């Protein structure tokens, strides 16, 4: 079985929670609520919260963080999504300390 590479992780997790909720409680509404809350939390964490928070931590532009996440996820799938922000932080840190890369640092700064 190959891993999902289309950003469907939250949907898969929510589907699994739906099944667990049905088995555990026997009530469809409880299971749907569990899955819906999990989907909402993972969606909020992945799109509007993580890019601005990580941008503030490294003093990086939130748009650059978002575009980096988008590009790395598209190119490398789940591993790209996990490694995008650390890679951007390393690039920004190196660019901050290398005179040749000063334009890259300014581009990534907020």
- pLDDT tens across 3-62, in order? 555 567 778 888 888 999 899 988 899 999 988 988 888 777 776 777 676 655 567 888
Q: What is the pLDDT of residue 1?
A: 46
pTM for this model (two decimals): 0.49
Q: For residue 97, report the phi and psi dihedrals to the nearest 5 degrees.
A: -105, 0
Q: What is the pLDDT of residue 108?
A: 86
* HSE toward the beta carbon, residue 78, CA cutoff 13 A: 7
Tell me if 68 sits within 8 A of 92, measured CB to CB.
Answer: no
Q: What is the pLDDT of residue 19?
A: 92
Tell me if 90 sits within 8 A of 84, measured CB to CB.
Answer: no
pLDDT tens digits, 51-107: 676 655 567 888 888 899 899 989 988 888 888 888 888 888 888 888 999 898 888
Burial of 32 per CB tally in 10 Å (0-12, 13-18, 19+)? middle
Distance CA 92, CA 72 (A): 16
């Amino acid at each position: 079985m190959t891993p999902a590479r289309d950003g469907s992780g939250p949907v898969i997790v929510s589907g699994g929670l739906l099944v667990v909720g049905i088995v555990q409680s026997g009530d469809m509404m409880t299971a749907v609520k569990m899955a819906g809350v999990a989907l909402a939390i993972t969606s909020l964490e992945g799109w509007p919260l993580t890019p601005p928070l990580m941008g503030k931590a490294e003093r990086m532009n939130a748009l650059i963080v978002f575009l980096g996440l988008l590009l790395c996820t598209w190119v490398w799938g789940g591993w790209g999504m996990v490694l995008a922000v650390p890679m951007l932080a390393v690039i920004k840190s190196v660019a901050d300390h290398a005179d040749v890369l000063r334009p890259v640092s300014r581009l990534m700064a907020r």
